[in-house]
């Protein structure tokens, strides 16, 4: 089932391309990681669910995967250009805490979300501040030919590399509009690779460099860690679609400078062969934000009684390149779908896993494989999994093997889940499960005795405590908080 050639959409060429590894048998992937100045919102986590699906697919295809995700603990400004403050410095000042404590706290919070969403750990979490020396060396290597110094720092001159901004396409209109002008820049799109600490100021995070005390520009870290840990060119670079506009074009320009490479008609000159971007999770009101409206953290979903994997399911139901609109109803529907699947899987749990290659499953395994090989089409792959679960009159062990095989790619962890696990208690619930069950027994007795007044009263009083009684629920759920 893994024979279909894997095709992935390369943002650099805007085309579907067959995955042909740089190093035979291997897959080397770099994903831009979180800036750990705050909790990730669930939109951020969509980027890592996507990278996880990509990694799982490459493993399933038999490639020896090396996946790097970085942790940005320096350099990312409140603006994607060169104006604004360092997000980390700003949060540390707001909270009157050290940057290091802030970074540790939010890195751990991010890792908790990673775990809850069944995102596999990468080979390495590379932390930006562990690579300051390497960043300075990298910058030294390209400074003479590609950079110039201003009072505020060392800037990269984008006119010194061929095809600057090709990844963004619309860089002249959309991208540059978002870049703040810094006095003395040669081109609007030039960007800082080293930001000097202004005279008379001290920053919590600053290092000595040939260009004075300061901190690296945000784009530098990913070029450096990608090169150090995976080597140029590596296979795939991922990130959210916003990175297609500024962060990745700038990374690419640095990589071209570092390699002394020519233009981008040859994709490997960019430092990677394929650049992949997940589209955004949006709210009905527009862009997802950590500061305005309801801060959609994974923990909020859990507090409201939604299992984290319902969110993973929600992500899988959309293609990663499509925008996905978040709604509580949508999340509820994803949870119901997951429950149905988990209930069907529960019936297979006692069977010993057999061999999946049985003629009855061949077309569905084929459908699944074709979907995943078609630029990670998880919505169709999910349907194939459900259809496989519905196949009748087959050995349970064979079915189990088929589902395990598919789930290894989709990462729902179906055999580790039970119906009960999916029922989370909303944080503001005041009634316990035992109390609910006891009330429902009383209600059943009243109904048997045809005492509908009592039975209705019980239903109503449960309703006041936030419990919905569900008579005849197809999933066998009697109540919901």
CA–CA distance, 399 with 63 (Å, rounded to integer): 25
Interface with ligand AMP includes 81 (CB under 6 A)?
no
Interface with ligand AMP includes 280 (CB under 6 A)?
yes
- Residue 91's binding partner among ligand AMP, Zn ion, none (Cβ under 5 to 8 angstroms by kind) is none
Minimum Å gap between C-beta 378 and ligand AMP is: 15
Among the residue ranges 234-242, 250-258, 303-311, 450-458, the one whose residues contact ligand AMP (CB under 6 A): 234-242
Q: Which residues of 429-460 are buried (b: 16+ CB within 10 A; e: fewer)?
A: eebeeeebeebbeebeebeeeeeeeebeebbe
CA–CA distance, 378 with 373 (Å, rounded to integer): 10
- Residue 222's binding partner among ligand AMP, Zn ion, none (Cβ under 5 to 8 angstroms by kind) is Zn ion
Interface with ligand AMP includes 233 (CB under 6 A)?
no
Binding residue positions for Zn(2+)? 32, 222, 247, 251
| Phi then psi dihedrals of residue 257, to 5 deg | -65, -45
- Residue 280's binding partner among Zn ion, ligand AMP, none (Cβ under 5 to 8 angstroms by kind) is ligand AMP
CA–CA distance, 325 with 330 (Å, rounded to integer): 9
Interface with ligand AMP includes 243 (CB under 6 A)?
yes
Minimum Å gap between C-beta 74 and ligand AMP is: 12
287 to 326: interface string for ligand AMP, x by CB under 6 A: -x--------------------------------------
First to last CA, the chain: 42
CA–CA distance, 178 with 426 (Å, rounded to integer): 41
- Residue 271's binding partner among Zn ion, ligand AMP, none (Cβ under 5 to 8 angstroms by kind) is none
- Residue 270's binding partner among ligand AMP, Zn ion, none (Cβ under 5 to 8 angstroms by kind) is none
CA–CA distance, 251 with 233 (Å, rounded to integer): 13
Strand order in the sheet with 234-240: 124-127, 64-71, 26-31, 234-240, 272-278
Contacts of 475 (CB under 8 A, 6+ apart): 336, 339, 340, 343
- Residue 34's binding partner among ligand AMP, Zn ion, none (Cβ under 5 to 8 angstroms by kind) is ligand AMP
The smaller minimum CB distance to Zn ion, of residues 32 and 49, is found at: 32
Select the residue interacting with ligand AMP from 9, 10, 11, 35 (CB under 6 A): 35
Interface with ligand AMP includes 239 (CB under 6 A)?
yes
Interface with ligand AMP includes 51 (CB under 6 A)?
no
**Interface positions with Zn ion (CB under 5 A):** 32, 222
Place of tokens 């350099």: 75
The verdict on whether omega for the bond into residue 233 sits within 30 degrees of 0, i.e. cis, is: yes
Minimum Å gap between C-beta 10 and ligand AMP is: 17
In SS3 terms, 172-184 reads as HHHHHHCCCCCCC
The pair of three-digit structure tokens given for residue 383, joined into one six-digit string? 């349907």
- Let me know: does 41 contact 79? Beta carbons within 8 Å: no
Q: Which residues bind ligand AMP (CB under 6 A)?
A: 32, 34-35, 43-44, 46-47, 239-240, 242-243, 278, 280-281, 288
């Amino acid at each position: 089932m893994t024979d279909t050639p894997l095709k992935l959409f390369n943002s650099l060429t805007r085309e579907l391309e067959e995955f042909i590894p740089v190093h035979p048998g291997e897959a080397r992937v770099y994903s831009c990681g979180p800036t750990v100045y705050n909790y990730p919102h669930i939109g951020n986590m969509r980027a890592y669910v996507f990278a996880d699906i990509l990694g799982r697919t490459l493993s399933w295809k038999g490639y020896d995967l090396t996946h790097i995700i970085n942790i940005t603990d320096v350099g990312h400004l409140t603006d994607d250009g060169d104006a604004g403050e360092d997000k980390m410095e700003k949060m540390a000042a707001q909270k009157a805490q050290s940057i290091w404590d802030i970074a540790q706290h939010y890195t751990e919070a991010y890792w908790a979300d990673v775990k809850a969403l069944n995102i596999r750990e990468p080979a390495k979490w590379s932390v930006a501040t562990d690579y300051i020396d390497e960043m300075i060396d990298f910058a030294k290597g390209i400074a003479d030919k590609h950079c110039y110094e201003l009072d505020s720092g060392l800037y990269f001159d984008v006119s010194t590399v061929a095809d600057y901004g090709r990844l963004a396409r619309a860089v002249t209109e959309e991208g540059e509009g978002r870049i703040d002008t810094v006095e003395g820049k040669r081109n609007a799109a030039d960007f800082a690779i080293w930001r000097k600490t202004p005279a008379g100021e001290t920053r919590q995070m600053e290092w000595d460099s040939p260009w004075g005390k300061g901190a690296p520009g945000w784009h530098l870290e990913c070029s450096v860690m990608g090169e150090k840990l995976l080597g140029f060119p590596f296979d795939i670079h991922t990130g959210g679609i916003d990175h297609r506009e500024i962060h990745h074009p700038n990374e690419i320009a640095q990589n071209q400078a570092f390699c002394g490479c020519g233009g981008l008609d040859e994709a490997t000159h960019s430092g990677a062969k394929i650049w992949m971007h997940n589209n955004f999770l949006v709210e009905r009101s527009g862009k997802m934000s950590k500061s305005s409206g309801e801060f959609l953290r994974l923990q909020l979903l859990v507090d409201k009684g939604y299992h984290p994997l319902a969110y993973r399911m929600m992500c899988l139901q959309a293609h990663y390149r499509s925008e996905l609109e978040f709604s509580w109803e949508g999340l509820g529907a994803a949870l119901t779908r997951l429950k149905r699947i988990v209930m069907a899987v529960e019936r297979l749990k006692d069977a010993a896993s057999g061999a999946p290659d049985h003629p009855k499953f061949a077309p569905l395994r084929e459908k699944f494989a074709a979907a995943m090989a078609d630029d990670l089409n998880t919505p169709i792959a999910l349907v194939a999994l459900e259809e496989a679960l519905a196949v009748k009159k087959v050995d349970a062990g064979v079915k189990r093997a088929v589902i395990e095989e598919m789930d290894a790619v989709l990462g729902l962890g179906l055999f580790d889940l039970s119906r009960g696990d999916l029922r989370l208690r909303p944080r503001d619930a005041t009634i316990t499960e035992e109390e609910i069950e006891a009330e429902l027994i009383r209600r059943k007795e009243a109904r048997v005795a045809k005492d509908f007044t009592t039975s209705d009263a019980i239903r109503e009083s449960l309703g006041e405590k936030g419990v919905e009684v569900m008579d005849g629920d197809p999933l066998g759920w009697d109540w919901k908080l």
